[in-house]
Structures are given as structure tokens and as C-alpha cells.
């Protein structure tokens, strides 16, 4: 069954190519299509295009299909093009002519648009909850290990003393920046496109304010053409948020992989969170974090992929917009899985003690040793030159009594201030 079919069927090869993986992705979106159809049916009754009894029949059947979809029991067989055709078939099968009325005053274009808006609103909400949980975990680890020093690097060369408190909370605060991107994506998703039909509105006296409220959107996408043009932009805005989060998680995971190496030995994890080698019995590989790094690096390509897909399209609907559906659904699933595995594994992180007491980290303290001379009254440039000469002649004796006190330093990480920034976003 195809909603657009009026007579002769398309060739099987054409059908296979144009449908692609839509059935697979529509299993994810089906419950949101049902939600929108329930609101649409109630709106049709409100304006008198169907009777209240017909609306009740439709919403009852749609609620049953919605529950099937939520439980994973909704299927789309090969004879159906997508979720829309299967759902309408089930309505007609259950209600006869009443089921045929559900498509009045709408198009499959605004159907899939509103389903994507509802889906992305929900998933962005889920991702925000995960990010807040990860933020809280990172900040608790920062508090627990606040005073434990850690080598800091620039150019992958020893630089200055850092701390686990500074390291963990750096990534916690980075998640706040990622949530600023998230806010933009959520605002774009939180607009109702239903009623824009094929992109040019409807000749029926529909009530778009009614469906906007019924579906809990903040506002409608007012202009019908703008609503249709939002397809692709909706996915791109979400992709930007996913990419920002992915960047943070990939960088953190890279740190973890480095710090677990024997040459660093800053952190470790229990055996059941690492993997081994088929020939090297000593190996404890950070596969979890390597996969997070890889998946999140791939996420950073998503905005560009969607930009290239939509970059030269004029206004109105075009079939390749269908190709934006799969990448964003898969990206959301990958990101949620990455955050979930971090939430599962990080509580078990084991931090090494007294790392910077080792002789090989003497030069970490060159700046602090230099600063002590300046505090005694020596001009900075003179102190810098003298200390550089001492290092060259291997006469350098580090002063390990670091005394950093300014906000955001190892002596004053500012965890309360970072937490207060997040509290504004919760």
C-alpha cells in the first residue's frame, strides 16, 4: 500500500530504491506519527470535518498502535512503503471508511516532519538528562581527587602541574558549552510543522494552534513554506549539538586511553572493564574508550554530511530529504550508547597517587620555581634566563610546593562556580 498510488504500481526496482531503509527507521518514528495523528484527529473533530465519535474511534485505534510501537511490536511489511501507509492500513482495517478520513487536511510531508520534531524533542531531552548525569559524575570525581596532582602537557611535552580535580571538572564544564548548542537544537525542534501539508498549507479551515498545544510544542512553525524548508535544517541543528558533545567525549576518551598506557600509568580500571590480547597476556586494552572516541569522532562529520545533502536544494520538498532521517537516528543511538557506557565505567576509575613526585616530572615545576624567585623581587626576565641556564646545565632543583590560588587553578578549581553554571541549565 502506498499513500500516493492511484493505479498502476511502480516497478519493483524503483520501489526498492526509493523506499531504501525507510521501514527500518520508521519503526523508531512510528509512535511519534501516532501521537501526531491523534492530535490531528481531534483537531478534525474540533473544526467539524469528522464527528466526535469518529475522532474517538480513530484515537482509540491510534493509541493501540502507539502502544505496539512503544513495545517494539509494530511491524512494517514489504508491501507497505513506510509507517504512514501501514498505520493508515491498520486504521482502515479496523474502522473501515472512518480510517480513510485520517489523512484529511495533511500530507505525508508534514506527517514525517512532525514525527521528526517530536522524536528529536524527546531524544534531545533524553540526551540532556544523560549529560547532566555525566556532569554530576565528573564533578564528584573532581571533588574526590581535587588535590591529587597530575602532569599537564602542551605539545605533548611536560608543561605544568595539573590535577585530577582540574581534569575531571574541565570536561564537566565543557559539557555546559555543549548544552548551549543543545538549547539551540531543542528550540528549533520545539516548533509544530503539522498543518503545513505539502508545504503550502491546506484549503481546509484547520486549527494549527490546537495541534500545537495538543502536542506540547512551544510554538508553531508559522509559515507553511518555512515549515517544509525546516526539513534538513532541523536535522542539521541537532547534528551540531551531537557533534559538540561528541567532540568533548572523544577528547576525554583520548585522554583516558593515553593515561591508561604503561608509559603514563595515571589511571586504571578493573579487569572487567578492559579487554585482552589473543597473544599478549599482559594487555589491558581500553577498548570501551577507543570505541567512544571513534563513534564520537564520526559524529563530528554529521553536520557536514547533512549540509552537503541539502546545500543546493530550492524551497519545497525533494525526495533526498528522506536521506537525512537515517544518519540522525543512528547518530542519536550511538551518542546515547557512548554516554551510557561512560556513566557505567567511570565510577570505577582508579587514580594513581603521588604521580608528580617522580624525578621524571621535575620540569613540571620549573614555572613555579621561577615564580618563587619573582615573588622574592627578582625581575621575571632575569629569573627566566637564570632558570633556563640551570636547566641546560642540569642544575635545576624543583620547588614542588605549588601555591596556585586563583579561580580555575589547581589550588582553587571552582567546583561550586561550575556547578552553579549547570544549575542554570537543568
Burial of 261 (0-12, 13-18, 19+ CB in 10 A): exposed
Q: Does 212 map to a domain?
A: no
What does the angle CA 230 – CA 236 – CA 242 come to, to the nearest 5 degrees?
A: 140
- Which three three-digit cell numbers place residue 67? 502502544
Q: Which helix (H) or strand (E) holds 351?
A: strand 350-351
Is residue 401 domain-resident?
yes
Residue 408 predicted with pLDDT over 70? yes
Are residue 84 and residue 159 in the same domain, yes or no? no
257 and 288 co-located in one domain: yes
Task: Please give the full DSSP string across 134-178, using - where no structure is assigned.
Answer: HHHHHHHHHHHTTT-EEEEEETTEEEEEEEHHHHHHHHHHHHHHH
CATH label of the domain that carries residue 264: 1.20.200.10
List, in order, residues 6 or more apart from 354 with CB less than 8 Å away. none
User: Is the CB of residue 324 less than 8 Å from the CB of residue 306?
Assistant: yes
Any idea which residue has 614555572 for its cell? 367
Instruction: Read off the DSSP letter of residue 275.
Output: B
User: Would you say 99 and 91 are in contact if contact means Cβ atoms under 8 Å apart?
Assistant: yes
The secondary structure of 307-320 as a DSSP string is HHHHTT--SS--GG
For 263-303, the pLDDT digits (tens) are 999 999 999 988 877 788 787 889 999 999 999 999 999 99
Specify the pTM.
0.92
Q: pLDDT class for 4, splitting at 50, 70, 90? A: very low
Number of domains the chain is built from: 3
What angle separates helix 224-260 from helix 325-345, to the nearest 10 degrees?
30
pLDDT in tens, 113-147: 999 999 999 999 999 999 999 999 999 999 999 99
Residues 366 and 248 in one domain: no
The answer on 81 and 40 residing in a single domain is yes
Q: If 0-12 CB within 10 Å is exposed, 13-18 middle and 19+ buried, where does residue 398 land?
A: middle
Query: What's residue 18's pLDDT?
Result: 62
Among 356, 376, 391, the domain-final residue is: 356
| pLDDT recorded at residue 284 | 86
- Give the H or E element holding residue 91: helix 83-95
Identify whether the C-beta of residue 257 lies closer than 8 Å to the C-beta of residue 297: no
In a domain, 421, yes or no: no
294 & 149 share domain: yes
> How far apart, in whole angstroms, are the C-alpha atoms of residue 91 and residue 80?
14
User: Is 364 in the same domain as 257?
Assistant: no
**DSSP summary character for residue 201:** -
Residue 256 and residue 341 in one domain: yes
CA–CA distance, 269 with 391 (Å, rounded to integer): 36
Strands 149-154 and 157-163 come out as antiparallel
Q: What range does the domain containing 390 cover?
A: 357-413
406 and 345 belong to one structural domain: no
pLDDT, tens only, 368-383? 999 998 999 999 999 9
One domain, residues 259 and 320:
yes
H/E run at residue 421: helix 415-423
Identify whether 2 is part of a domain.
no
**Domain end residue (candidates: 75, 101, 127):** 101
Mean pLDDT of 234-260: 97
CA nearest neighbour of 182 among 236, 230, 137, 245: 245
**pLDDT for residue 12:** 67
Residue 317 lies in a domain: yes
Q: What is the CATH number of the domain that holds 17?
A: 1.10.275.10
Across the chain, mean pLDDT equals 93
Stretch 307-313: mean pLDDT: 89
Answer with the one of 356, 373, 398 that is the final residue of a domain.
356
Question: What pLDDT digit, counting tens, does each position of 195-232 carry?
Answer: 999 999 999 999 999 999 999 999 999 999 999 999 89
Per-residue pLDDT tens digits for 159-195? 999 999 999 999 999 999 999 999 999 999 999 999 9
266 found inside a domain: yes
Residue 49 falls within a domain, yes or no?
Answer: yes
Q: Report the candidate in 30, 126, 31 with the shortest Cα–Cα distance to residue 335.
A: 126
Instruction: Establish if 213 belongs to a structural domain.
Output: no
**155 and 73 co-located in one domain:** no
Residues 148, 274, single domain; the answer is yes
Phi/psi of residue 315, each to 5°?
-65, 160
Clarify whether residues 334 and 361 are in a common domain: no
Rounded distance between C-alpha atoms, residue 326 and residue 26, angstroms? 9
* Contacts (Cβ under 8 Å, ≥6 apart) of 126: 336
Amino acid at each position: 500500500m502506498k499513500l500516493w498510488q492511484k493505479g498502476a504500481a511502480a516497478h519493483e526496482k524503483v520501489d526498492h530504491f526509493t523506499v531504501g531503509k525507510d521501514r527500518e527507521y520508521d519503526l523508531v518514528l512510528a509512535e511519534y506519527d501516532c501521537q501526531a495523528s491523534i492530535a490531528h484527529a481531534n483537531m478534525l473533530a474540533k473544526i467539524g470535518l469528522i464527528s466526535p465519535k469518529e475522532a474517538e474511534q480513530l484515537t482509540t485505534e491510534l493509541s493501540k498502535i502507539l502502544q505496539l510501537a512503544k513495545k517494539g511490536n509494530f511491524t512494517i511489511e514489504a508491501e507497505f512503503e513506510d509507517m504512514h501507509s501501514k498505520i493508515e492500513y491498520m486504521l482502515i482495517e479496523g474502522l473501515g471508511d472512518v480510517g480513510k478520513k485520517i489523512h484529511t487536511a495533511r500530507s505525508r510531508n508534514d506527517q514525517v516532519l512532525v514525527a521528526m520534531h517530536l522524536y528529536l524533542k524527546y531524544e534531545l531531552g533524553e540526551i540532556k538528562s544523560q549529560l547532566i548525569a555525566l556532569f554530576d559524575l565528573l564533578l564528584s570525581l573532581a571533588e574526590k581527587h581535587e588535590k591529587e596532582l597530575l602532569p599537564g602537557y602542551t605539545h605533548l611535552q611536560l608543561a605544568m602541574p595539573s590535577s585530577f580535580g582540574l581534569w575531571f571538572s574541565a570536561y564537566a564544564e565543557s559539557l555546559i558549552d555543549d548544552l548551549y548548542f543543545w538549547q539551540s537544537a531543542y528550540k528549533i525542534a520545539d516548533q509544530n510543522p503539522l498543518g503545513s501539508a505539502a508545504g503550502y498549507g491546506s484549503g481546509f479551515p484547520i486549527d494549527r494552534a490546537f495541534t500545537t498545544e495538543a502536542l506540547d510544542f512551544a510554538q508553531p512553525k508559522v509559515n507553511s513554506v518555512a515549515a517544509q524548508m525546516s526539513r534538513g535544517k532541523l536535522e542539521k541543528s541537532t547534528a551540531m549539538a551531537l557533534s559538540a558533545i561528541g567532540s568533548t567525549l572523544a577528547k576525554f576518551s583520548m585522554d583516558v586511553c593515553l593515561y591508561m598506557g604503561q608509559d603514563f600509568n595515571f589511571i586504571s580500571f578493573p579487569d572487567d572493564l578492559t579487554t585482552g590480547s589473543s597473544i599478549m597476556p599482559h594487555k589491558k586494552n581500553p577498548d570501551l574508550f577507543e570505541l567512544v572516541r571513534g563513534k564520537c569522532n564520526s559524529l563530528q562529520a554529521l553536520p557536514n554530511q547533512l549540509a552537503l545533502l541539502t546545500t543546493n536544494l530550492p524551497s519545497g520538498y525533494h525526495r533526498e530529504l528522506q536521506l537525512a532521517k537515517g544518519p540522525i537516528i543512528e547518530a542519536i543511538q550511538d551518542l546515547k550508547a557512548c554516554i551510557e557506557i561512560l556513566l557505567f565505567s567511570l565510577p570505577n576509575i582508579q587514580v594513581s597517587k603521588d604521580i608528580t613526585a617522580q624525578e621524571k616530572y621535575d620540569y613540571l615545576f620549573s614555572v613555579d620555581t621561577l615564580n618563587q624567585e619573582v615573588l622574592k623581587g627578582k625581575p621575571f626576565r632575569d629569573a627566566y634566563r637564570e632558570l633556563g641556564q640551570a636547566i641546560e646545565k642540569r642544575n635545576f632543583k624543583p620547588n614542588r610546593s605549588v601555591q596556585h590560588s586563583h579561580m580555575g587553578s589547581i589550588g582553587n578549581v571552582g567546583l561550586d562556580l561550575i556547578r552553579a553554571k549547570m544549575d542554570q541549565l537543568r
